[in-house]
Amino acid sequence: DAGITQSPRHKVTETGTPVTLRCHQTENHRYMYWYRQDPGHGLRLIHYSYGVKDTDKGEVSDGYSVSRSKTEDFLLTLESATSSQTSVYFCAISESWTGDEQYFGPGTRLTVT
């Protein structure tokens, strides 16, 4: 497995609270991604990063923010969690460009009550 870890792996939180998910890689890959996976929707891109401090929005970015202060860490923040953000969140990395093969972390299951 590529060296990608996600924390926490499971989290239950209440509506309106902020939540931060962490992705950590040991591969020194330039690109990092956050996806959410929901039944019937497949995998949808939230945000991605193409370098330290360089990020861009994906197709479902509303309600989410990201930060990347180091090559190895990519944080996803839900500013005020809502029940619609209950999902499984996956981090992924790729080496050279966004169309390259991606390596995925184990996922974080988030439940917003």
Nearer to other proteins, 19 or 90 (CB): 90
Instruction: State how far the Cα of 87 lies from the Cα of 110, in Å rounded to an integer.
Output: 6
How many helices and strands in the chain, by DSSP H and E?
A: 0, 11
CB of 48 to other proteins, least distance (A): 7
d(CA 5, CA 27): 11
Q: Which residues bind other proteins (CB under 8 A)?
A: 4, 40-45, 48, 56, 58-59, 90, 92, 98-99, 101-107
Question: Which residue's CB is nearer to other proteins, number 1 or number 14?
Answer: 1
In the complex with other proteins, which residue's Cβ is closer, 44 or 71?
Answer: 44
Least distance in Å: CB of 34 to other proteins? Answer: 12
Count Cβ atoms below 10 Å from residue 87 Cβ, excluding itself. Answer: 21
* Contact residues for 58 (Cβ-Cβ < 8 A; gap 6+): 33, 34, 35, 44, 45, 46, 47, 48
Q: Closer CB to other proteins, residue 58 or residue 63?
A: 58
Q: Considering the complex, what minimum distance in angstroms separates the CB of residue 83 from other proteins? A: 22
